Amino acid sequence: MKVNKITTGHKIGDKEVFAVELVNDKGTLVSIFNYGTIINKFVVTNKAGVQQDIVLGFDNFSSYVDKEYLKNYPYLGAVIGRYANRIRKGEFVVDGADYQLAKNNGEDCLHGGLEGFDKKVWDITSTSEAPHASVTFQHFSLDGEENFPGDLAVQLKFELTNNDELILSYQADTDEATPINLTHHSYFNLSTTGDKIGKHIHQMNASSYLEQDENFVVTGNLLPVKDSIHDFTVARTIEENWDKVAGYDQSYVLDKTYGELTLASKTTETNSGLSLLVYSTEPVAHFYTAKHLSVKNGKNGKEYGEFDAFCVETQHHPNAVNIPHFPNTVLEPEEVYTQTTIYKVIAN
């Protein structure tokens, strides 16, 4: 096990941006920037014994803060907070007080607002090479940041095991009641040649999904996947039943006991022999097939477009802060927020 801390040569404000490499005994490598805790590389060995990088991103850090990239910003590989997905009209009420967030996605607030956790330089609080290669990042989100209430302290630990498991452990506490819904937004492609992901085989352990309005805001209604294009309870190719124009951009309610660490999804690419298994304590997995992705000069100069990747974003129910019958997403001062998500890669 190895941990390497590498300077990028960039500063944002008065904070230096580093890449932290986690390497296991098999040679699997994960590289994470402390800016947005962006997973920049996830290099694994496929069934042919060849190493390949399974996440989209850039060769250089500077591209992540490039103005052209940010114009059609897809949150490549970044943490999302304080609140993942969309909050209807950017509005919520906590303890009788009304809050108005930025409307950065039509009339709604997306992924925490104009400058969410994805655009913060996190502090590196610790690294370790035993029992796993690991790094812990921390961000203090002050009261009023993006107009959320309360000082929120967030820790995010990444651990890489010898079983090719990347474990993400989140923890947060607050001094004032505040909504919180964290996730990570890595874009995966398991193909050796970076082909479109339509022929990836996908299974999602969810018998229901969340109804969305025309701007993808969750309404509060639960719908069965049976007899719909959203049924991935049995493994099938992503493109088998999808809308050829829109693909998938949908929140699935996982079949599980609330809070237990269980398998959310499994995605396989036959040529590489790679499978990505996603485990989570969270009740929802948002499945996105990158319809709106438009990135120039990605890794090795590649352009990324629609359906070039998939995301499995584990989280609580989107917009739950406005839907009382959904699981609670308001963290109280006496509580501790925790979440665990595991990306496990196998080759066969």
- The label of the residue with tokens 């022929």 reads 199
pLDDT at 79: 98
Task: Give the model's confidence band at 77: pLDDT under 50 very low, under 70 low, under 90 confident, else very high.
Answer: very high
Three-class SS state of 111: coil
Three-class SS state of 181: strand
116 close to 148: Cβ distance less than 8 angstroms = no
For residue range 27-60, what is the model confidence (pLDDT) as tens digits? 999 999 999 999 999 999 999 999 999 999 999 9
H-helix or E-strand containing 69?
A: helix 67-71
pLDDT at 347: 97
The one catalytic residue among 111, 282, 313, 317: 313
Q: Which residues contact 101 (CB under 8 A, 6 or more apart)?
A: 87, 90, 91, 92, 109, 113, 146, 147, 148
336 close to 169: Cβ distance less than 8 angstroms = no
pLDDT at 110: 97
Cβ neighbours, 10 Å, residue 70: 11
Cβ neighbours, 10 Å, residue 98: 8
pLDDT at 57: 98
pTM of the model: 0.97
Over residues 244-268, mean pLDDT: 97
Going from N- to C-terminal start, the domains of the chain cover 2-347
The reply to whether 332 belongs to the active site is no
* Average pLDDT of the chain, as a whole number: 97
Our CA dihedral for 212, 264, 140, 327, rounded to 10 degrees, sits at 50
Q: Kindly state the percentage of the chain with pLDDT values over 70.
A: 100
Three-class SS state of 85: coil
The reply to whether 139 belongs to the active site is no
pLDDT at 282: 98
pLDDT at 37: 98
pLDDT at 189: 98
Q: Which two tokens stand for residue 1?
A: 């096990």
The one catalytic residue among 111, 132, 185, 317: 185
Task: Give the model's confidence band at 75: pLDDT under 50 very low, under 70 low, under 90 confident, else very high.
Answer: very high
For residue range 290-345, what is the model confidence (pLDDT) as tens digits? 999 999 999 999 999 999 999 999 999 999 999 999 999 999 999 999 999 999 99
pLDDT at 220: 97
* Closest listed residue to residue 77, CA positions, set 345, 271, 304: 304
Q: Would you call the peptide bond into 88 cis, given omega within 30 degrees of 0 as the criterion? A: no
H-helix or E-strand containing 70?
A: helix 67-71
Give CA–CA dist 242/95, Å, rounded. 42
Q: What HEC string does 164-177 produce?
A: CEEEEEEEEEECCC
Side chain identity, residue 329: T
Our CA dihedral for 57, 241, 192, 56, rounded to 10 degrees, sits at 0
Structural domain 2-347, CATH architecture = Distorted Sandwich (2.70)
Q: Which residues contact 43 (CB under 8 A, 6 or more apart)?
A: 27, 28, 29, 30, 51, 52, 53, 54
